[in-house]
Amino acid sequence: CMDMLMIDVTNIDCAEGDEVIIFGEGQSAEQFASFAGTISYELLTGLAPRIPRLYTEY
């Protein structure tokens, strides 16, 4: 799955084409990295340039 990501949405009310927020309020890159057994830098630099990003301060 080069340049792809799969997420189990079995119990989530969603449909194809819905917007997805991977890192954000309630789930930081640091928390996600800890769950994946890595560091946030590795996750963030591994995202392809063609993936849209929205940076916010909080």
48-58 confidence digits (pLDDT tens): 888 888 887 76
- pTM exceeding 0.75: no
3-50 confidence digits (pLDDT tens): 777 888 999 999 998 988 888 888 888 998 999 899 999 988 888 888
Contact call for residues 43 and 28 (beta carbons, < 8 A) = no
Contact call for residues 22 and 9 (beta carbons, < 8 A) = no
| Closest to 21 measured CA to CA, from 56, 39, 2 | 56
Cα 24 to its chain centre, rounded Å, is 9
